[in-house]
Amino acid sequence: MKTKAVCLSLLFLLITAFELTPFPSFAQDGAEQRRRLRGDAAQHMVDEATRAVDQANRDRRRIRPNVAPDRAARQTDTGRYGGDDINPAQTSDDPTYGYTRENPVKLGGDSGSGAAYSHVYLKQLRDKNRRPFKYYRVGNVGAGPDGHITDQYKLTDSDGSEFTLFIDMYHPEKNPLDCLAPKGMFMAP
């Protein structure tokens, strides 16, 4: 009987101690964990896009004919964005291409995330000064003409002008580095 009373007393003390011990809120832990996971997912997407750009550039160098020695000598850091290496034929003549939801840039890739290929494309775009754009994804704007979800991006050029582009990233047959740039923009090699 005495052991039963001692056991009950210990059980009572444990329950009281458990109730008085402060524990972190599970809701706060869950929110923090979700924030951490979103950050990890965003970093993963950036890493994936960077790897895709690097791979695409390696592939392009493999199939590109050798550059003439005089042109290779002219290619400096300013030449990279200065215009000698920009191909105007890779810019669309259509004024609605990329600028409207009904005529989005269509791109994709063989494997991986379509969002990563969108970033590959956007990183290769250059403004009228041959400088890269700053950009961010606004969100999806629903189905485009092919029935695929279309994303909207805001771009800012080196002069501070803003542009809105629409991208349909569900076309694996179209390499983002081979897509045309919208009118008034250029693709870096």
Q: In this predicted model, what pLDDT tens digit does every residue of 48-58 receive, in sequence order?
A: 766 766 666 66
Identify whether 42 is part of a domain: yes
Assess contact for 183 and 95: CB atoms under 8 A: yes
Could you tell me if residue 109 is inside a domain? yes
User: Is 28 within the bounds of a domain?
Assistant: no
Instruction: Look at residue 171 in the predicted model and tell me its pLDDT.
Output: 85
| Sheet strands (E) in 100-179 | 105-106, 125-126, 134-143, 149-156, 162-168
Quote the distance between the C-alpha of residue 7 and its chain's center.
Answer: 61
Q: Is the whole-model pTM more than 0.85?
A: no
157 has pLDDT over 80: yes
Predicted confidence (pLDDT) per residue in 86-100, tens digit: 778 899 999 999 999
Q: Which residues, in sequence order, are bridge partners of residue 137?
A: 153
Domain span at residue 173? 36-65+93-189
**Is 146 a member of any domain?**
yes
Average pLDDT taken over every residue of the chain: 74
Number of structural domains found in the chain: 1
Residue 153 lies in a domain: yes
Please check whether residue 25 lies inside any domain of the structure: no
Q: What percent of the chain has pLDDT over 90?
A: 32
| pLDDT tens profile 103-140 | 999 998 666 677 888 998 999 999 999 999 999 999 99
Residue 176 lies in a domain: yes
Fill in the amino acid letter for 167.
I
Position 4 pLDDT exceeds 90: no
Task: Please tell me the predicted confidence (pLDDT) of residue 46.
Answer: 61
The verdict on residue 143 lying in a domain is yes
Going by C-alpha positions, the residue among 115, 106, 135, 121 that lies closest to residue 187 is: 121
